[in-house]
């Protein structure tokens, strides 16, 4: 896709306004949070995206959700300094053009940012959702706790996303495609990833890879509590949550799965350590609810493989912003410019 397009003309931020609208776009939902200057979320709205109706309708739904969130707090648009958005794909910031997304038909090559600027007359800062989550954690979450200005973040869910912050600044790369940490190759002979490559972090540590690891053990005849969670012997009946529940009860198969996933995430983390030497490495997303069996394996792998120089493996931690991480991350770029 060519990225040759007119540059956005952003309105100035409303520097005297007390709030920012942060927009977190998921697979089927839109979350909007009204965020104050200290990154506290004072109100939230969640809408279905209805993206299947087309890209223009999807963008209009975002506008409606922003308006509703503002109204529900008894505010007006004059109270909003700017709008930040975490978009599930590549965003060319200078033009507002976005890449395709499986859940947003018609997105590829479309201008996402300009229609929102036109609707609100406000500055609209859009970034990749995992990248803005990294900035949010660095400025207002784990980074604040650790005094960190250099942070690497992995989001663990259906896929594996990533974000990098160096010296307090988000790294997006020369072509707005940087920090695709889930697509670093950690085993060239590994399984095929959804991106088409082989052996990506995501191919091992995304939901499909986790379930494949569990099923390979179950289908070999291993006894496991996981069988109790499965009504019929079909893959759709197994979920990472079930694996976590079994691991909590000491199930050997479930513990092996998280140890394997943690090993591969540890390899990915070690590459990040060697390349970037961050203060802290953060993991967010639903898969992190696996807890100690997962994090112990990640830290153990990094500790064993930190050969060139010692690195504080205990600084591999879950995110601190919880369910608001997407909204705060989306707002973080605007808040940073207001600081």
Which CATH superfamily, name and number, covers 149-317?
ATPase, nucleotide binding domain (3.30.420.40)
- pLDDT at position 308: 84
For 191-219, b/e burial (b = at least 16 CB within 10 A) is eebeeeeebbbbbbbbbbbbbebbeebbe
pLDDT at 288 over 50: yes
- Look at the domain 19-137+324-338 and name its fold: Nucleotidyltransferase; domain 5 (3.30.420)
Predicted confidence (pLDDT) at residue 233 exceeds the cutoff of 90: no
**Every domain of the chain and the residues it spans:** 19-137+324-338, 149-317
Output the pLDDT for position 268. 97
Do the first three CATH levels of 19-137+324-338 and 149-317 match, i.e. the same topology?
yes
Least confident window among 25-29, 168-172, 292-296:
25-29
Note the pTM of the prediction, 2 decimals.
0.92
Q: What is the DSSP string of 130-180?
A: HHHHHHHHHHHSHHHHHT-S-EEEEEESSSEEEEEEETTEE---TTS----
d(CA 261, CA 44): 34
| C-beta of residue 304 within 8 angstroms of C-beta of residue 298 | no
For the stretch 28-56, pLDDT in tens is 899 999 999 999 999 999 999 988 899 99
- Asked whether the CA dihedral 173, 283, 69, 16 is positive or negative, the reply is negative
Strands across the sheet containing 169-170? 169-170, 160-166, 151-156, 280-284, 316-318
Distance CA 187, CA 173 (A): 24
Scan for tokens 């493989």, then name that residue: 305
pLDDT digits (tens, 9 = 90+) for 120-167: 999 999 999 999 999 999 999 999 999 999 999 999 998 999 999 999
Residue 1: per-residue pLDDT: 43
174-211 pLDDT, tens digit per residue, is: 888 889 999 999 999 999 998 899 999 999 999 999 99
The bridge status of strand 169-170 relative to strand 160-166 is: antiparallel
SS3 228: helix
Contacts 24+ apart (CB under 8 A), 61-68: 61/30, 62/23, 62/25, 62/30, 62/32, 62/116, 63/115, 63/116, 63/119, 63/120, 65/23, 65/30, 65/31, 65/32, 66/21, 66/23, 66/32, 66/120, 68/32
């Amino acid at each position: 896709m060519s990225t040759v397009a007119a540059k956005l003309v952003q309105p100035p931020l409303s520097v005297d306004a007390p709030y920012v609208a942060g927009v977190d776009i998921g697979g089927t939902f839109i979350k909007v949070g009204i965020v104050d200057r200290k990154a506290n979320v004072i109100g939230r709205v969640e809408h279905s995206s209805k993206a299947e109706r087309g890209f223009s309708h999807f963008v209009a739904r975002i506008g409606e959700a922003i308006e509703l969130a503002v109204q529900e707090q008894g505010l007006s648009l004059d109270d909003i300094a700017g709008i930040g958005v975490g978009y599930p794909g590549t965003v060319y910031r200078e033009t507002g053009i976005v890449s395709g997304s499986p859940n947003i038909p018609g997105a590829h090559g479309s201008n996402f940012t300009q229609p929102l600027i036109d609707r609100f007359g406000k500055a609209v800062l859009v970034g990749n959702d995992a990248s803005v989550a990294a900035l949010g954690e660095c400025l207002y979450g784990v980074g604040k706790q650790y005094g960190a200005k250099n942070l690497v973040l992995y989001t663990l869910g259906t896929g594996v996303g990533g974000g990098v912050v160096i010296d307090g600044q988000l790294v997006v790369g020369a072509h707005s495609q940087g920090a695709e940490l889930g697509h670093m190759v950690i085993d060239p002979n590994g399984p095929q990833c959804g991106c088409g490559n082989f052996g990506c972090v995501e191919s091992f540590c995304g939901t499909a890879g986790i379930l494949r690891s569990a099923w390979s053990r179950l289908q070999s005849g291993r006894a496991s509590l996981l069988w109790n969670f499965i009504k019929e012997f079909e893959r759709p009946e197994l979920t990472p949550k079930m694996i976590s529940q079994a691991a909590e009860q000491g199930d050997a198969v479930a513990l092996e799965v998280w140890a394997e996933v943690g090993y591969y995430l540890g390899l990915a983390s070690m590459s990040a350590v060697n390349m970037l030497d961050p203060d802290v490495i953060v993991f967010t997303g639903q898969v992190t609810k696996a807890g100690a069996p997962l994090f112990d394996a990640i830290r153990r792998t990094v500790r064993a493989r930190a050969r060139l120089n010692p690195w504080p493996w205990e600084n591999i931690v879950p995110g601190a912003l919880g369910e608001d991480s997407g909204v705060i991350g989306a707002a973080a770029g605007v808040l940073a410019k207001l600081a």
